[in-house]
Amino acid sequence: MDNLQKRNLTFLTIGLIFMLNGIEYAVILPTIWRYLQILEAPPYFLGLGLSAFSLSGLLTGPLFGLWSDRSQTTKSIILFSNLFEIAGNFMYFIGYSKWLLLSSRLVAGVGAGAGSSIFGFLTRSTKPEERAGVFAAIMACRQAGLLVGPAFNLFLRLCDFKLGPFVVNKYTSPGIFMCLLWVLLQFAILGLYWDVPPVSSEEGSAMLEMKQEADDEEEGLLIGSDEEPLPTYRAVNSDQLEASTSSGTRPVRGASILSACRELLREEVVVLLTAQFITLFNQTALETMVTPMTQRLFSFGELSNSLMYSLCGLEVILGFFFVRWLSRRVADRAVLAAGLVICCVACIWCLIFLCSPRGGYGWELSSFIIGVFLQLLGLPFVAVSQVSLFSKVTAEKTQGFSQGVRRSVGGLATILGPLWAGGLTNNLYIMLGMMLALLIMITVMTVLSYDRLTEPRAVQSAQGSDGGG
């Protein structure tokens, strides 16, 4: 099996990982509210339960990223992190108390920290011009999980039996179900995931590298070289370049991390990190608000919520594929700006029509559907563009650490978002007003820094030397 086949199978496995993340979210979110109520947990435990998962990812993301930067491998990291997903979901299944349920999400969240290593791997394994499309496809896999997850809930809600000393019902079954899925994924990773060599962003396409390989072989024959041909997907990364050009410089890695920390303070990086925080803060705040709102206004139960999340997942998947197509024709920064405008419009709509619903059940439901549609419409634009831009304006050799910081910022947002919304489900003017203010702020920041939100060729070529200190 050549490196191209290994690379494709590895990308497929990464898609499965993100799909399982989406399935887990989709099967747990519609039922965790009632699960906590059965365990006699106070209302704020909903926010704590949703935030606990993000807290673990926030703390472990940079560590996993640093590990992958140093080892240049991700397979062992993913296998290790998935053990926490397995343990956490089994604890959720046991669920004897509200505190065990809270701890289960905390443990499972450690597994999500490996996402920084995965994004670092994807950055090193893709060329800049194809990166947005790859990121969009991977993110669409998570949304596919959100789409498929509610379908699993259709039969999980019918569970009502005992498994030894444990009760299996519609509230505990998502835990054991996800535990089994993560175990099966471990076998898929063992057989289908390879730490393939990175594709050089400066060497052009894979076809060009194969041509160069053939030229090297021909030249070797002419001069009598006995060296073996290099792999098709070979790439000399910045660490290797530094090792060959400055053999006397040993503390490269420490200097690289220092350089990565410095570059996180650059204007364009700060804008992208702020966009990451605000969009995820608003998204998770709305997700926390939706379940109590649909229960209060429309009397939705677990089945209705599952169907709603399924339709939402379908919309977002279509949005990601549209952005995948659009990213080949439009600059990332233009996609980001369009997404922020859509999010602002969506938040204004919710402020006007959802805070003080009037006009009867039909009008309230229609206003709610339009508001959710607009919120989800802007999500793929912002999510794909800011991740793609972030990978291009930060050094390639410390992508694991940088992506870990980016995901930690997102993790902080997903912690604060549910906490903010959990206490304001009956005060939507305050909740949505703050969200709109944040969106306006990041939109202004994007406009002011628009010229810097790009990948200058000079900066790209200089990142390798800057990273070395």
How far is residue 104 from each of residues 92, 108, 175, 304, measured CA to CA in Å?
A: 5, 6, 9, 26
Residue 260 has pLDDT above 80, yes or no: no
CA angle 307, 309, 315 (to 5 degrees): 110
Q: Which residue has the tokens 């920084």?
A: 116
For residue 131, what are its two tokens? 């990166």
* Alpha-carbon span 289 to 282, nearest angstrom: 11
How confident is the prediction for the chain on average, in pLDDT?
A: 79
- Residue scoring higher pLDDT (33 or 85): 85
pLDDT at 186: 94
Whole-model pTM above 0.75? Answer: no
CA distance 74 to 77: 5
Portion of the chain with pLDDT greater than 90, in percent: 20
Number of C-alpha atoms within 13 angstroms, CB side, residue 309? 35
Lookup: tokens for 458: 């000079």
Return the minimum-mean-pLDDT range out of 21-25, 130-134, 198-202: 198-202
Cβ–Cβ under 8 Å, residues 16 and 188: yes
Confidence of residue 84 (pLDDT cuts 50, 70, 90): very high
Residue 163: φ, ψ to 5°: -120, 90
> What is residue 198's DSSP assignment?
P
Task: For residue 167, give the DSSP letter.
Answer: E
Biggest alpha carbon–alpha carbon distance for the chain = 85
Residue 344: pLDDT over 90 = yes
Phi, psi of 16 (to 5 degrees): -65, -40
Residue type (1 letter), 192: L
Instruction: Give CA separation, 50 vs 80, 227, 407, in Å.
Output: 23, 56, 16
Average pLDDT over residues 335-361: 86
Please give the pLDDT value at position 462: 40
Higher pLDDT, 438 or 258: 438
Contact 235, 200 (CB under 8 A): yes
Minimum mean pLDDT range among 110-114, 165-169, 279-283, 384-388: 165-169
Using one digit for the tens of pLDDT, what is the confidence trace for 416-461? 887 787 777 777 788 888 889 999 999 999 999 988 888 755 344 4
How much is the pLDDT for 448? 92
Amino acid (1-letter code) at residue 249: T
Among 225-234, 260-269, 401-410, the least confident range: 225-234
The phi, psi pair for 426, rounded to 5°, reads -105, 5
Confidence of residue 255 (pLDDT cuts 50, 70, 90): low
pLDDT at 1: 62
What pairing do the DSSP bridges indicate for beta strands 161-163 and 166-168? antiparallel
Q: pLDDT band for position 234 (50/70/90)?
A: very low
Identify which of 100-109, 130-139, 154-163 has the greatest average pLDDT: 100-109
Share of the chain above pLDDT 70, in %: 83
